[in-house]
Amino acid sequence: MSLHPTPVLKESPSQTAGPYVHIGMTPNFCGITGVIDADLGLTMLTPDTVGERIVISGRVIDGSGAPVSDAVLELWQADAEGSFSAPMGPNSNSAPAFSGWGRQPTQPDGSFTFETIKPGRVDGPDGKPMAPHVSLWIVARGINIGLQTRLYFSDEAEANAGDFVLNKIMDPRRRETLIARKEEGAVPRYVLDIHLQGDKETVFFDI
Amino acid sequence: MSGIILPGADGALFQRDRDWHPAADTPGYKSTTFRAPRHSLLALGPTKSETSGPTFGHEKLGELDNDLIRNYSQDGTEAIGQRMIVYGQVLDENARPVPGTLVEYWQANAGGRYRHKKEGYLAALDPNFGGFGRSITDENGFYHFRTVKPGAYPWPNRGNDWRPAHIHFSIFGHAFAQRLITQMYFEGDPMIWQCPIVATINDKAAIDQLTAKLDRHNTTPMDALAYRFDIVLRGRRSTMFENKLEGN
């Protein structure tokens, strides 16, 4: 017998989320109110969340330079200690102090904003800690299968330089497509535009 | 003991078969033209960031969240259309059920019109149909919901394209890299075979996997037809055991 059994089923093939993904994933945002109280993932923080408050924002831009106004982004990250949120049982009714997961629609100008905390470092496959990062997933009309990428932080230059994933990207100019620019303020803001195509095309992953 | 797969095993995910999935750039579906990345995807074996994922057990689902016939009713009137139960099992590639995971679904109304301000189709809007619902899979990975059959509708891809009746699905699984959005089509629908979005999938067997089967046994007499739609998420290798070398 093998420790690595061959899959017996095929993964269901992906299809585009279509132009109306907001109906299904952020129904209140597109005016379908009264079905669920609040769109899932709008809020990642609670007063009990430990960690440095930050804002992550940017725009999604297509290959013609136009804003992608009909996308949904999801963000998944570790907490300030570098741990991922403990799974909650199906019957548990207590919210975790930090969900680690956020979901935001893009606005008419293609912009998105997440209010979260700066993640801690997570051990990489090589046993060394990866640089602080968040995972992003983007779906929209015209995207046949969700795009996976990461956002890193410009004020973590040393950690970034040793990061297992960033170092897989041979072209340093392309590596820059994953590094969000820090803007100082009462709450630090990290800005990263996601380019689906073109000279500044974001590095997307086959995970 | 080798070969035994423990429930909740957290081994690495199987590689995604991207020939089974649609390619990013599919010219027959024009919206991909400016939205398909041109560079190859960078291969990245899943790390903890991708083999972990959000859970939603702590979210209280509303009683009507999985009843699209009633969950947007403005005055107690039920949605108009052919009444249906859609159900199925969420599995992984090892055929293990995926319990406790969030499944979201959205669709057009019986006339084929979406409740969306950008919707341009002339068909009537049903004031009592929102078109959104959600479930969390049970201990055996099953979900179910009640709705009306969505209509086919035109879209401006090549001037006179029509989408077959379909329901959009979003499924989480237990790892962020299992995240999947897909669409369910209906067995026997001739519209499936002329749709440019369906045709982004190359393999007929893969399209069949997205085609729900009519299930006579689970119909509700004098009320609703039943369709079964199973969904398969990425599987994982088994966790290595300390004594893994024994017997190998």
Tokens 């406790």 belong to residue? B100
Q: Residue B24: closest CA among chain A residues belongs to which residue?
A: A144
Integer CA distances (angstroms), A105 to A139, B8, B40, B53, B54, in order:
10, 31, 26, 20, 18
Q: Given an 8 Å threshold on Cβ–Cβ distance, is A24 in contact with B104?
A: yes
Q: Is A85 within 8 Å of A100 (Cβ atoms)?
A: yes
Q: How far apart are CA B171 and CA A137, in angstroms?
A: 13
Per-residue DSSP letter, A41: T
Interface test with A, best of B2, B17, B42, B200 (most A CBs within 10 A): B42
Complex ipTM: 0.94
- Secondary structure of residue A164 in the 3-state scheme: coil
CA neighbor of A101 nearest in space, from B172, B9, B106: B172
Asked if A1 lies within 8 A of B18 by C-beta distance, the reply is no
CA A204 to chain centre: 12
Distance from CA of A141 to the nearest CA of B (A): 7
Per-10-residue mean pLDDT, chain B, length 248: 39 91 98 98 91 79 96 97 98 94 97 94 97 96 98 96 98 96 98 98 98 97 98 82 41
Q: How far is B122 from chain A (nearest CA, A)?
A: 17
Is B170–A17 a contact, with Cβ atoms under 8 angstroms apart? Answer: yes
What whole-number distance in Å separates Cα of residue A154 and Cα of residue B131? 42
- Which of A11, A84, A130 has the CB atom closest to B234's CB atom? A11
Whether B166 is catalytic? yes
3-state secondary structure of B200: helix
Surface-to-core class of residue A50, CB atoms within 10 Å of its CB (0-12 exposed, 13-18 middle, 19+ buried): exposed
**Residue A195 and residue A201 in contact, taking contact as beta carbons nearer than 8 Å:** yes
Pick the closest to residue B99 from B155, B171, B183, B29 (CA basis).
B171
Output phi, psi for B227, to 5 deg. Answer: -125, 135
Query: 3-class SS at B214?
Result: strand
Non-local (6+) Cβ contacts of A175 within 8 A are A166, A169, A203
Return the pLDDT at B247.
36
Measured between alpha carbons, how far is A206 from B42 in angstroms, rounded to an integer? 6
DSSP A2: -
> What is the signed CA dihedral for B235, A135, B231, A88, rounded to 10 degrees?
90
Q: What angle do CA A125, A127, A128 make, to 5 degrees?
A: 105
- Between CA B203 and CA B209 the distance in angstroms is 10
Q: Which two tokens stand for residue B112?
A: 């084929």
Phi, psi of B215 (to 5 degrees): -120, 100
CA–CA separation, A15 and A144 (whole Å): 5
- Residue A145: the pLDDT is 98
CB contact under 8 A, B132 and A35: yes
Determine the pLDDT at residue B126.
98
Q: Is B168 a catalytic residue?
A: yes
CB-nearest partner of B244 from A3, A13, A19: A3
In whole angstroms, give the CA distance from residue B83 to residue B216: 14
Question: Residue B134 forms beta bridges with which residues?
Answer: B104
pLDDT of residue A86: 63
Q: State the virtual CA torsion across B159, B160, B164, B169 in degrees, nearest 10.
A: 10
Q: Where are any strands of DSSP class E within A128-188? A: 133-139, 147-153, 179-183
Query: Which of B21, B57, B116 has its CB closest to that of A145?
Result: B21
Say whether residue A173 is in contact with chain B using an 8 A CB cutoff.
no
Partner B, chain A 84-143, Cβ-Cβ below 8 Å? 84-85, 87-96, 99-101, 122-125, 130, 133, 135, 137, 139-143
Cα dihedral: A49, A50, A54, A56 (round 10): -60
- Residue found by looking up tokens 């803001």 in the block: A189
Q: What is the pTM of this model?
A: 0.94
Query: What residue ranges of chain A have pLDDT lower than 50?
Result: 1-2, 89-93
Say if A52 is an interface residue toward chain B (CB within 8 Å): no
Active site residue B185: no
